[in-house]
Amino acid sequence: MKYIVITFLAFILASCGGHERSETLKKAEAIHLEALEISKGVDKKLADVTSELQDASGYLIAQGDTLAAEEVDLKMQQLHTVADAYQTWKDNLAEVPGMACTHDHDGDHEHTHDHAKEALLNGLSDDDNLKIQEEQKVAIETILAQLKDLE
């Protein structure tokens, strides 16, 4: 009886612990991490461009240059559009199924997971999850480029 229990436990441990992630999911994880690094640059660039445009607007208004101030105001409107796109990107960000949680747990925000989205992603193929990560990376790169254009 003791040997049956030991054999059963060995079988359970072997079946639970040894699953290797596919190369496709590993690539998806790497792309996800790259996108997150880019998003850190977007956070900084968004703050910098906002500050620069606000300073420029205030200076131009004080100088009485209303035409140039209107141009800066137009850039501020474009900046708000980019900031909205960035917020949408963050809200829709999909992690790779089975990947350790990668977002920041510090700060004052409430930490939640979209369990419906997680279930959907778990049901997709590895190739589909890779494609999602590639699309998310392209989207954040586009947002960063738009911010740079506003400088």
In a domain, 38, yes or no: yes
Asked if residue 5 belongs to a domain, the reply is no
Alpha-carbon gap, residue 31 to 28, rounded angstroms: 5
Which structural domain, as residue segments, surrounds residue 53?
23-149
Distance CA 14, CA 121 (A): 26
Beta carbons within 10 angstroms of residue 45's beta carbon = 19
Evaluate whether residue 81 is within a structural domain: yes
pLDDT of residue 120: 74
User: 99 vs 1, 29, 49, 66, 96, CA distance in Å?
Assistant: 39, 7, 33, 52, 5
Determine, yes or no, domain membership for 44.
Answer: yes
Cα-based angle 89, 93, 95 (whole degrees, multiple of 5): 160
d(CA 94, CA 43): 18
Q: How many domains does the chain have?
A: 1
Is 8 contained in some domain?
Answer: no
Within-domain flag for 46: yes
Q: Is residue 13 part of a domain?
A: no
Averaged pLDDT in 10-residue chunks for the chain of 151 residues: 44 46 94 97 94 93 93 95 97 88 49 62 89 97 95 84
Any domain includes 105: yes
| pLDDT at res. 106 | 47
pTM of the model: 0.75
CB neighbour list of residue 76: distance below 8 Å, 6 or more residues apart: 53, 54, 57
